[in-house]
């Protein structure tokens, strides 16, 4: 981040605006949303600025800027049409340690004005660092459409009862759980509808109940993180990641997705590679359970889907045995993500009427599969963790009747910008010079549908 986001207390803020055209008027109207004291200096003022002459926060001075105008000022917006004057005022402000913004001249901005969504006391500010204002406007429009207009009522309600909750409940975790329950439940709905009397009555009942059982019960959420692209996360997955006290994640969770976890959550890495386990699976199961017993809200973040070669079933068996509540949040499995982003439909009327997911690495390290059932031309096969055993997969499928000319694709780091696709046939894939360069995580897709890749590819180029 070149610009550090921060919210200034404007109660005793003294702001100077140099220039009183329409640009200066926009800055004036923006700052007037705060309690700041504002001085505007310019030899000429537009009608919009003049209309604020009697405003108690505003002082208008019709003359050229003078150095002493910077005295006792905390920040200054420079909005004249003279570039030399703008640069001179910038230098003077920096020398006096006054925060300075030269409008529409990012290199001369010590701070920049963000795009603001105002639902006071809830305020959302966004910035592109001055490089993508149109994109920023687009994002603001999106947020405006999903944030309830009455969210300000909920902000005011939270402010009103904040101290009462703090005095009633001990511990940050207990208070956070309580507020999350309030904000997710019927009380918030009543507040947004303006039914504050009912909301306050229910709030008091809920707070007393929380007081009698101050330590909240820990819970585990097995969350599918999808194949890698953070845009493929479900809304529920993202919401829980933002609520988690502890996040236990594996190697297949992309850095882009991990970045979306709540900043102050404890993050515990338990990634596994072939013959190199940070923690054995049983230890992971125990770790998750112990964290929940300590009263934490635990998100077990797993690449793809927890119940498709994600060992989610093994983990919740431990939770059931120890009496710990849990929920499972499905994710887009790697097979679906890889196939879609590689332009390979898993089923197609002319190519495959079924699809089978198989693991290329069993619990005991072997690839002992039902090859007779797998070796059928009218289905698509997807092998998870199949890169190491690729020679065996090709050999076994041809030995059990699948044509050596059957197309095969290797998809590495599916859905991410680094995605690579290598194609061939069961007979030729091992001779492709690109095959030895492929690294996990790589999915293996076998079947006639792979022949559609070249035509349907929309995301990446084929390496052949």
Query: Is 224 in the same domain as 200?
Result: no
What's the CA gap between 81 and 23, in Å, rounded? 10
CB 445 within 8 A of CB 307: no
Kindly report the CATH number assigned to the domain that includes residue 242. 3.40.1010.10
For CA atoms 29, 150, 178, 299, the dihedral sign is: negative
Query: Is 379 in the same domain as 421?
Result: yes
Residue 139, in any domain of the structure:
no
pLDDT of residue 215: 54
pLDDT of residue 174: 85
Q: Which of 275-284, 421-430, 450-459 has the highest mean pLDDT?
A: 421-430
pLDDT of residue 277: 54
Residue 35, in any domain of the structure:
yes
Q: Which residues span the domain enclosing 206? A: 156-212
- What would the pLDDT profile of 376-418 be if each residue is shown by its tens digit? 888 999 999 889 889 999 999 999 999 999 999 999 999 999 9
Residue 2, in any domain of the structure:
no
For residue 462, the surrounding DSSP H or E stretch is strand 462-463
What's the CA gap between 185 and 209, in Å, rounded? 15
pLDDT at 460 over 80: no
pLDDT at 276 over 70: no
pLDDT mean over 175-201: 83
Residue 193, in any domain of the structure:
yes
Query: Is 348 in the same domain as 454?
Result: yes
Catalytic residue IDs: 250, 272
pLDDT of residue 278: 64
Query: Is 104 in the same domain as 37?
Result: yes
Query: Is 371 in the same domain as 282?
Result: no
Residue 368, in any domain of the structure:
yes
The confidence band for 273, taking pLDDT boundaries of 50, 70 and 90, is: low
Question: For residue 32, what is the DSSP state?
Answer: T
- Of 192, 212, 232, the residue at which a domain comes to its end is 212
Kindly report the CATH number assigned to the domain that includes residue 430. 3.30.950.10
Which strands make up the sheet holding 266-269, listed edge to edge?
Answer: 266-269, 246-249, 297-302, 219-224, 325-329
Question: What is the DSSP code string of 340-372?
Answer: HHTT--S-BTTTBSEEEEEESS-TTS-----HH
- The pTM (predicted TM-score) of the whole model is 0.62
- Mean pLDDT of the chain, nearest integer: 89
Lowest-confidence segment of 67-76, 152-161, 285-294, 365-374 by average pLDDT: 365-374
pLDDT mean over 284-309: 91
pLDDT mean over 284-291: 92
For CA atoms 172, 174, 175, 177, the dihedral sign is: positive
Q: What is the tally of structural domains in the chain?
A: 4
pLDDT of residue 152: 87
Pairing type for strands 58-61 and 75-78 reads unpaired
- Of 195, 212, 229, the residue at which a domain comes to its end is 212
pLDDT of residue 274: 56
Query: Is 348 in the same domain as 459?
Result: yes
Query: Is 307 in the same domain as 344?
Result: no
Query: Is 345 in the same domain as 459?
Result: yes
- What would the pLDDT profile of 91-119 be if each residue is shown by its tens digit? 999 999 999 999 989 899 999 888 888 88
pLDDT mean over 242-269: 91
């Amino acid at each position: 981040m070149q610009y550090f986001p921060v919210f200034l207390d404007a109660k005793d803020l003294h702001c100077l605006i140099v220039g009183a055209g329409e640009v200066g008027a926009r800055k004036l109207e923006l700052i007037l949303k705060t309690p700041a004291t504002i001085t505007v200096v310019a030899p000429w003022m537009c009608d919009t600025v003049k209309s604020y002459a009697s405003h108690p926060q505003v002082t208008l001075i019709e003359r050229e800027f003078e150095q002493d105008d910077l005295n006792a000022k905390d920040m200054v917006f420079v909005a004249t049409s003279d570039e030399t004057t703008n640069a001179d005022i910038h230098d003077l402000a920096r020398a006096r340690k006054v925060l300075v913004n030269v409008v529409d001249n990012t290199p001369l901005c010590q701070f920049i004005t963000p795009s603001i969504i105002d639902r006071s006391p809830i305020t959302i500010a966004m910035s592109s660092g001055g490089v993508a204002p149109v994109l920023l406007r687009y994002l603001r429009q999106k947020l405006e459409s999903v944030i309830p207009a009455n969210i300000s009522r909920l902000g005011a309600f939270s402010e009103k009862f904040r101290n009462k909750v703090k005095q009633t409940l001990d511990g940050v975790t207990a208070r956070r759980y309580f507020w999350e329950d309030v904000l997710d439940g019927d009380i918030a709905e009543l507040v947004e509808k303006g039914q504050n009397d009912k909301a306050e009555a229910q709030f008091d009942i809920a707070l007393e109940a929380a007081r009698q059982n101050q330590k909240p019960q820990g819970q585990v959420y097995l969350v599918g993180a999808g194949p890698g692209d953070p845009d493929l996360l479900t809304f529920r997955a993202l919401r829980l990641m933002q609520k988690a006290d502890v996040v236990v994640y594996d190697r297949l969770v992309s850095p882009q997705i991990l970045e979306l976890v709540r900043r102050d959550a404890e993050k515990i890495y338990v990634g596994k590679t072939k013959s190199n386990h940070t923690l054995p699976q049983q230890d992971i199961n125990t770790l998750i359970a112990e964290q929940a017993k300590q009263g934490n809200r635990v998100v077990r973040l797993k690449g793809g889907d927890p119940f498709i070669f994600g060992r989610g079933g093994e983990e919740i068996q431990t939770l059931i045995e120890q009496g710990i509540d849990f929920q499972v949040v499905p994710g887009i499995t790697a097979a679906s993500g890889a196939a879609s982003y590689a332009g390979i439909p898993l089923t197609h009327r002319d190519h495959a009427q079924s699809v089978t997911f198989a693991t290329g690495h069993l619990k005991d390290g072997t690839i002992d599969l039902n090859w007779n059932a797998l070796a059928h031309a009218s289905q698509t096969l997807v092998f998870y963790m199949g890169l190491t055993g690729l020679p065996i997969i090709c050999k076994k499928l041809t030995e059990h009747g699948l044509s050596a000319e059957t197309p095969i694709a290797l998809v590495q780091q599916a859905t991410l910008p680094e995605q690579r696709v290598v194609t061939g046939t069961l007979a030729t894939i091992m001779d492709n010079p690109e095959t030895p360069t492929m690294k996990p995580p790589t999915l293996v897709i076998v079947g006639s549908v792979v022949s559609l890749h070249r035509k349907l590819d929309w995301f990446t180029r084929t390496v052949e």
